[in-house]
Amino acid sequence: AIEHCGSLINRIPEVIEVNARIKSIDGCVSKFKRKYLPNLEPDTPFNIQSYISDLVGLRAVCYYSEDVTAIKKAIKKYFRVIDITDKTRQMEQTDNKFGYKSLHLQLALKKKKDASKDLIEISQIAFELQIRTVIQDAWSVLDHKIKYKKSIPQYLKRRINRLSALFEIADEEFLNIYKEIVLEEKKIKDRLKRKATSDNAVPLDVFRFLFIALKHFPDYKFIEYKVDNFVQEILNIKEGFTEENLDRAITKHLAIVDKIEVNLNQKLNPYTKIKYCLYIFNKDLFANILSEFQKEKIKGYK
């Protein structure tokens, strides 16, 4: 049952990791005594299992806090939602508390008419799904390692709250940085669409590089970390090198590099072509951007 439900949750694009656990007998008894037994009338008959809603538990981890909402919505394709406990909202409704954040869903597999006998049996089992971001999950793990959190000296309580607040800020900033990157990528597309001119006022960065690179190589898939390393290589050679400088180098010399490519009888990727263009653009400045073999191939071309 756990494996099947976990595999369904793993299909959701925003989910990066799924973990499962079955609560131990001691854990069930301890939770019942702590949360439910004190509220029962003396001599009231009870079945511990009927009180423990998280006997079977799954945890879905995602990158960003907004992914939690997306996962919550996508879950309904496969499962019936029995109950929801939003610990994040509970925490955010207070102004003096920090700590554990998570969305808890009580779920059961949707019943289908053509389902196998095994799936019908699984659909009768309710389980708890906790949805957290990577940072919320990290705080949860660390939080469980703190032995005492309530009746402790004020200076310790303050330090725990400060630490929790830092995790909360990190979670928000992680999302904000992601949104800013998405916005910068959108600006690249907008600039390409309106055929904007290159800017000579601001030093090159990954987004300005991509604007120029995609202008000249629109069909190439530029990988983020490779772009990052390549731009840094250029800036290590010439701090303050601009997108206009890069655009001029490629525009002026790409035709020569295309001839070199034909002569070599091999396909050159855009990074290599740009290196050739930069070297031809300024041989003294970019003397080390090409190998000696590559420099030899340029001789005779103008």
Q: What is the pLDDT at residue 51?
A: 55
Tens digit of pLDDT at every position of the chain (302 positions): 788 889 999 999 999 999 987 766 666 667 656 766 666 666 666 666 555 655 678 999 999 999 999 999 999 999 999 999 887 776 665 655 555 678 999 998 888 777 777 777 777 788 899 999 999 999 988 887 876 667 888 888 888 888 888 999 999 999 999 999 999 999 999 999 999 999 888 899 999 999 999 999 999 999 999 999 999 999 999 999 999 999 999 999 999 999 999 988 889 999 999 999 999 999 999 999 999 988 988 887 76
For the domain made up of 2-153, give the CATH fold: Beta Polymerase; domain 2 (3.30.460)
Rounded CA gap, 235 and 230, in Å? 9
Q: How far is CA 21 from CA 2, 86, 88, 171, 259, in A?
A: 8, 20, 22, 25, 62
pLDDT at 43: 65
Residue 190 burial (CB count, 10 A): 11
Tokens standing for residue 188: 């690249």
pLDDT at 69: 94
* Beta carbons of 250 and 277 less than 8 angstroms apart: yes
Q: What is the pLDDT of residue 258?
A: 94
103/178 Cα distance (integer angstroms):
21
- Burial class from Cβ neighbours inside 10 Å (0-12, 13-18, 19+) for residue 286 reads buried
Domain with CATH 3.30.460.10 in the chain: 2-153
The DSSP secondary structure of 70-130, one letter per residue, reads HHHHHHTTTEEEEEEEEHHHHHHT-SS------EEEEEEEPP-TT--HHHHHHTT--EEEE
Half-sphere exposure of 187 (CA within 13 A, CB side): 11
What single string gives the DSSP state of each residue in 192-222? HHTTPPP-SSSB--HHHHHHHHHHH-TT---
Count, residues in the chain: 302
Q: What is the pLDDT of residue 53?
A: 59
Angle at 19 between CA 160 and CA 223, to 5 degrees: 90
Instruction: List beta partners, residue 21.
Output: 57
φ/ψ (deg, to 5) at 51: -95, -20
Question: Which residues partner with 57 through β-bridges?
Answer: 21, 128
Residue carrying the six token digits 């731009």 = 231
